[in-house]
Chains A and B, each alone.
Chain A
Amino acid sequence: MSRPVRFVPIALLVVFLAFVAWRLTVPADTTIRSKLEGKPVPSFALPEALPARATFGSTDLATGKPRIVNFFASWCVPCIAEAPVLRELKAKGVAIDGIAVRDRPEDIAEFLKENGDPYQRIGADAQSNVQMALGSSGVPESFVVDGRGIIRYQHVGPIMPQDLDLILTELEKAK
């Protein structure tokens, strides 16, 4: 067999590996950004997620100080991962409101008992209506809302330790 022909398969393999390796290093951006960054929070009022626990609505967000609205659920695995970071944010004096998506009171209570409770107020979003209204497409997601009730930043996915500075900067900017 002639010499160059023998190396054709290897060449094909290298081409395949090159393309696939490129895709692995540049993962497709599948996150869906909310169109509401820079706009006021759409109006909503949430029923309480736990008995005897304060809930909130869109009008309660304009408190004059920036705060975080965090979408979570007891059935959501990444939410467990971001729980320590949320506790750390709380310890730094950041106000966080939680929205429990498609969840049951007893499960939420269990989740908070296990993973800590960083929330000032918790509302229940049984049908994901508020979540969709804010342009969020998954759990967990977090929104930085400034003192006038305007969405300043959307964080898709869990807030990991390496995201902490980013969140604090966004909170600072929202002041």
Chain B
Amino acid sequence: MIAELGLAALWLAAALALLQLLLALGFAKADGAKAARPLALLQAILTLLAFGSLIAVFLRTDLSVALVFENSHSAKPWLYKFAGTWGNHEGSMLLWVAVLSVSGAALAVLEKRINEKMLVASLGAQAALGLGFYAFLLFASNPFARLNPAPLEGRGLNPLLQDPGLAFHPPTLYLGYVGLSVAFSLAVGAMLTRQVDAPLARAMRPWVLASWIFLTLGITAGSYWAYYELGWGGWWFWDPVENASLMPWLAATALLHSVNVLAARGGLRSWTMMLAVVAFSMSMVGTFLVRSGILTSVHAFAVDPQRGTFILALLAIYVGAALILFAARAATIREGAPFKPVSREGALVVNNLLLSVILGVVFVGTLYPIIAEALSGEKISVGPPYFNAVAGPLALILGALLFVGPLLRWRSDRRPLAKWVLPSALIALVVVGISFAFAPEMSLLARFGLAFGTALLPASILPLFGRSLKRTPLAVWGMVVAHLGVGVALIGMASDSAFTQEKLTVARPGDKMQVGPWLIELAGIAPVAGPNWTAIEAHLRASRGGGTETLRPQARTFTSPFTETSETAIHTAWNGQFYAVIGRQRDEGWQLRLWWKPFVTLIWLGGVLIGIGGLIALVGRLWRERRWGRQVAE
């Protein structure tokens, strides 16, 4: 019954979306907005009901539902039954739709800055987006399809996906992806009603910020997940699935900066509209790449070109329509206030151009295997050598821009900036010098990453100088924290690539070995068992100077379905991580792969700082607007 309830809720929500779209198109003249708001809210409740139903059938392991049968198993721990709800295609698309409609409802209920006409147009765009995805769910990937008779046991879940990190990683990314749909709808609504102006930017800004925070945290978490789950010691593989989440983030980062120019100075109007369309397009491209499986990836999903075609068709319709609208309305969008090249606007334009180029480079690199095969029939793969060499230097230039950009004033800045920039440049230079003296072998990218990252630590705080800290707006604090995070992450990345020490060896119980500053002893090897797996576990004692740490890496064998995975053991010290993987038996010994990675944790700490910075800015913006709104009301 629960499954039928969910399905019915989904159909009803689709009908409401259609109604909402018709309202926006002007079929009901009178008071469109009054009806549009409750419609959007009701839709959100219904999709949440549908998603709740799916969670319920997963928790009860109702095997008469095909999706549960394929992806779950009664022996699975409850957390993975729960996470299994969205650990598959249908469930994740239902989650996507639920988030989409909740965003639409939030827009309808909370948005008071833009006028009714534009709101109705935006809600119409949101309903159009929703309709496509409802159709996708109901016609091409029904999560509630029944099996009759019900099988006795489920087929389990990919063991690689049985991990607490995965329970929360995809939903976080989806919140980010789909949150960008509101920016898209607002841009479409604004272009339709010819009101591309600063109030629109202020309405759009919190949505962009919130999506961007989720994307940042989602990517950071995903990177850490790949780092400890895959057991390869790397934290970013430039895999198509990873790029699928990076591309919307790059576009959202550019949008986040340009929307500020529009909100504060009324400038970059067309460009911001363009970016809002591109950012959501990238979310859809990302979903398409992951779900269609046209690019092969280490993060294996069950894929299906037919579903890919459906998503591609939706993408073509939505993005195509938005771009045609853009082309039609671009001439009517007014010019913003002019500015000099050396100004806050100027710096943000350079930021946007660099981010766009990085986005383009990642986009072309990700899709190049398809392009090459279409043009010349050659099968190729594009990996880290390309992305690091091309996107790396661009990212470094962007980092260097942070020395000066945030210090500039709007419109025009004629102050002598040298005294502000000089200390940062000097720090960077000193770090480069020191690194040449002590680590002449470092790669260029790592060397400059380390230098710029270190210089960014003080440079990112500079915008606070000469301000009364009490009266500094939270948005400025947020910016400072986020830029600090960029510096921290840069140091972590550079340190990991330059100073990591690796040891690959065969050891017998009792053997000792040295990895960086650590003395490692293989104390023993023992078999262990879990609810649905058995494993060989190594018992490692790691010491350096003081106490002894114990690490227990495992080589696991899952029974349902049969799969082998390796469980990494990681010890986190204040200045880095010790990372251990156990391999295969060789004669009387066992293969061990051990890494000492100094300051690798800074990568994710930086990512979290960037997210926290975004959160501070978001709270600041919302709080300020509430106060401002109250003042207007009085």
Contacts and interface: CB of A to CB of B under 8 A. Distances in A.
Direct contact of A and B (CB under 8 A): yes
Interface string A22-38: 11100110100000000
Interface string B149-188: 0011001000000000000000000000000000000000
Given A1-B330, A6-B327, A75-B562, A13 B319 contact: yes
Contacts of A114: 151
A1 B331 contact: yes
Contact of A21 (B281, B312, B323, B373): B312
B11 to A, nearest CB: 27
Contacts of B151: 114
B65 to A, nearest CB: 15
B371 A19 contact: yes
A6 B319 contact: no
Contacts of B331: 1, 6
Given A20-B370, A23-B370, A75-B155, A1 B270 contact: yes
B298 interface: no
Contacts of B278: 9
A56 B292 CA distance: 41
Nearest to B270: A1
Interface of B: 70, 151-152, 155, 270, 274, 277-278, 281, 285, 288, 292, 294, 296, 305, 308-309, 312, 315-316, 319-320, 323-324, 326-327, 330-331, 367, 370-371, 373-374, 379, 560-562
A102 B562 contact: yes
Contact of A13 (B155, B288, B320, B330): B320
Contacts of A7: 327
A22 B270 contact: no
Contacts of B305: 24, 27
Interface of A: 1, 6-7, 9-10, 13, 16-17, 19-24, 27-28, 30, 75, 77, 102, 110, 114
Contacts of B308: 24
A102 B331 CA distance: 65
Given A20-B294, A24-B294, A75-B560, A10 B374 contact: no
B152 A110 contact: yes
A13 B277 CA distance: 12
Contact of B70 (A10, A19, A77): A77
B312 A28 contact: no
Given A30-B296, A75-B155, A19 B560 contact: no
A19 B320 CA distance: 16
A17 B315 CA distance: 9
A16 B367 contact: yes
5 contacts: A6-B330, A6-B331, A9-B274, A9-B277, A17-B312
B296 A9 contact: no
B320 A10 contact: yes
B374 A23 contact: yes
Nearest to B156: A75
Contacts of B312: 17, 20-21, 24
B244 to A, nearest CB: 13
Contact of B326 (A9, A102, A110): A9
A7 B326 CA distance: 9
Contacts of B309: 24
Given A9-B278, A22-B370, 5 more contacts: A10-B327, A13-B316, A20-B312, A23-B370, A24-B292
A6 B326 contact: yes
Contacts of B296: 28, 30
B547 to A, nearest CB: 43
A114 B149 CA distance: 10
B370 A19 contact: yes
Contacts of A102: 562
A93 to B, nearest CB: 30
A136 B371 CA distance: 30
Nearest to A110: B152
Nearest to B274: A9
Contacts of A77: 70, 155
B88 to A, nearest CB: 13
A17 B316 CA distance: 7
Given A20-B294, A110-B152, A9 B323 contact: yes
A21 B373 CA distance: 13
Contacts of B373: 23, 28
B331 to A, nearest CB: 6
A126 to B, nearest CB: 10
Contacts of B277: 9
Contacts of A19: 367, 370-371, 374
A77 B320 CA distance: 38
Contacts of B330: 1, 6
* Residue of B274, B323, B324 contacting most chain A CB atoms (<10 Å): B323
B268 to A, nearest CB: 13
A77 B88 CA distance: 15
Contacts of B562: 75, 102
Contacts of A28: 294, 296, 373, 379
A160 to B, nearest CB: 15
A10 B367 contact: no
Nearest to A20: B312
Nearest to B561: A75
A10 B309 CA distance: 19
A10 B330 CA distance: 13
Nearest to A101: B562
Q: Which of A6, A7, A114 has the most CB of B within 10 A?
A: A6
